[in-house]
Amino acid sequence: MYEQERLLRRGAVQDAALFDAGLRAHMLRIYNYMASGVLLTGIVALFVASTPAIYQPIFGSPLKWVAMFAPLAFVFFFSFRIERMSAQAAQTAYWAFCAVMGLSMASIFLVFTGMSIAQTFFIAAAMFTAMSLYGYTTKADLSRFGSFLIMGVIGVLIASLVNLFVGSSALQFAISVIGVLVFVGLTAWDTQNIKVRYAENLGHETETKMAVFGALSLYLNFVNIFQLLLSLTGERE
């Protein structure tokens, strides 16, 4: 009887070790997707900003609204289509989204100094890393904050759209401060949610799509933290 219990415990420990190894590999894959997406966005943004033949016709005309809202259209597309997309289609859509986001963000190189962009990027990266690590390691259940954080995102989005037409510097300051807090919280929540989804879908054939969608969630958090911090602390040209 004792030997049987010992073997059962050993099996449980081995299963736990296999699960932990699989989870670490899954998270590493997600972070690689995310980092590659951020890199692609940066390359596209810098290329567009340094090519007047591209940015002048876009940002000097109503096409700037298309460039501004195209990433949002991609997010809605992902939300409604991810479950029905193949793994290859999900990857292709993700890379296309990151490239379009780069086009949309090219204007920051025209507005802010290179030094302030670099400084803000590293600050945003440090904040993102700390909160994602917290979300991965904490034993606390962060799911109870999910609804509050989603409501915060919707509020920030609506306020940002309103401020496009109002142009209030005070409102923009409030949006930036609240937005940073919301997306920092979302980083921890999304990271923990990725772990939960991995456990629920262990062994399913959706792992690649889960990795892409997880990378998209973390990518959006990081990009929003960066942009909102830049609007708060960035030095303008």
Per-residue pLDDT reduced to its tens digit, 180-230: 999 999 999 999 998 888 877 655 546 778 888 889 999 999 999 999 999
What CA–CA distances, in Å, run from 146 to 106, 129, 181, 190? 31, 19, 14, 9
Q: What one-character-per-residue DSSP string does the chain give? A: -HHHHHHHHHHHHHHHHHHHHHHHHHHHHHHHHHHHHHHHHHHHHHHHHT-HHHHHHHHTSTHHHHHHHHHHHHHHHHHHHGGGS-HHHHHHHHHHHHHHHHHHHTTHHHHB-HHHHHHHHHHHHHHHHHHHHHHHH--S--GGGHHHHHHHHHHHHHHHHHHHHH--HHHHHHHHHHHHHHHHHHHHHHHHHHHHHHHHTTTSTTHHHHHHHHHHHHHHHHHHHHHHHHHHHPPB-
> pLDDT tier at 16 (50, 70, 90 boundaries)?
low
Rounded CA-CA distance 200/151 in Å is: 25
Number of domains the chain is built from: 1
Confidence of residue 9 (pLDDT cuts 50, 70, 90): very low
The domain in which residue 160 lies consists of 2-233
- 0.75 cut: is pTM over it? yes
